[in-house]
Amino acid sequence: MARVAAIDCGTNSIRLLVADVTTSDGGGRWLRDVHREMRVVRLGQGVDATGELHPDAVARTRAALVDYTNVLRRKGAERVRMVATSATRDAANKDVFFDMTREVLGVEAEVISGDEEARLSFTGAVSDLDAGEGPFLVSDIGGGSTELVLGTWDGVRGEVEAARSVDIGCVRLTERCLHTDPPTGREVDEAVRVTREVLQGAFDAVPTERARTWIGVAGTVTTLVAVAKRLPSYQPDEVHLARLTVDQVRETTAALLAMGHDERAALGPMHPGRVDVICGGALVVRTLAEHLAERGVTELVASEHDILDGIAFSLA
């Protein structure tokens, strides 16, 4: 058994998992959470427009990382891995970010490729699924990118068959298209057009028609599910492995698009950091749902386990 710490720094949020990873004689592995935490730091603030990380965004990320470093040291983590995704890949001043993470955490943050991001997401997402439900399509909708990965799971390890990351996510789409609150019909139409156009690159690379089960991971999907289930507060146990039909995805997305900021903020499961970007994220989910429904997959399975768990497994 090894106690490890995984940190995932995305465009919208930074998350920490401290976990014990146990490996059996047969090669099977499982996680036991010691500490799991998420903070919205909006590292990708303005990157799509300026090409640079905003100083305030770096400062917010630093504050969270200082706290995370204290936690993982207090919990006795033996190995640490931090990965950074879309916002840092795109930023002209990314050295500012990496100098900061090295100073605070004491290890190098890794800029992982979109394909590696998708592979880690797949490993984390499928670990609680029945192998017989595969092949699985895992979608990871982040702030600045969306990853699709198709693969199989035999109960011990995942086998990735195809993967692609494309530059569309809840923050990027919101900043590009959704300027009114609530968004206008014209803005929504433009957001859908952009989403379809960008996702086509993933659909061309990943044979989605082979999928039997669609799994959605990360905050956009888990928040959408919690809102659809009308939970009074965010409850991970109620969200994990919950299923939404395509019609429920459409209905929930339409409801969010009709709400103003304060109405969305008043929803019990809504994290304050997602209030401004959940509409963009929901449109990405709806676009995926409609594409997959045409190929016979009519349900979305939400998973609380994702790239963070995959990073932890990679340290075992």
Residue ending a domain, among 83, 114, 145, is 114
Residues 259 and 139 occupy one common structural domain: yes
Q: For the whole model, what pTM was predicted?
A: 0.78
Instruction: Characterize the bridge pairing of strands 2-9 and 79-84.
Output: parallel
pLDDT of residue 282 exceeding 80, the answer is: yes
Residue ending a domain, among 114, 142, 164, is 114
Q: In total, how many domains does the chain have?
A: 2
**pLDDT at residue number 284:** 96
The arithmetic mean of pLDDT across residues 49-77, rounded, is 94
For residue 13, what is the domain's CATH number? 3.30.420.40
Rounded Cα distance between 6 and 307, Å, is 9
- Domain assignment present for residue 264? The answer is yes
- The pLDDT tens digits for 206-228 are 999 999 999 999 889 999 999 99
Contact 220, 281 (CB under 8 A): yes
Name the packing angle between helices 246-258 and 278-293 (round to 10°).
150
Residues 133 and 214 occupy one common structural domain: yes
pLDDT band at 87 (very low <50, low <70, confident <90, very high): low
Contact 125, 153 (CB under 8 A): no
Q: How many residues does the chain have?
A: 316
- Domain assignment present for residue 316? The answer is no
Contact 149, 129 (CB under 8 A): no
Residue ending a domain, among 92, 114, 136, is 114
Give the range of the structural domain holding residue 243, as residue numbers without chain letter.
128-307
Residues 6+ apart with CB under 8 A from 10: 43, 44, 84, 85, 86, 87, 142, 143, 144, 218
pLDDT band at 18 (very low <50, low <70, confident <90, very high): very high
Residues 140 and 61 occupy one common structural domain: no
Mean pLDDT lowest among 39-48, 63-72, 218-227, 294-303: 39-48
- Domain assignment present for residue 256? The answer is yes
- Domain assignment present for residue 120? The answer is no
Instruction: Check residues 128 and 101 and name the one with the higher pLDDT.
Output: 101
pLDDT band at 129 (very low <50, low <70, confident <90, very high): confident
pLDDT band at 25 (very low <50, low <70, confident <90, very high): low
- The pLDDT tens digits for 28-47 are 667 888 999 989 898 888 88
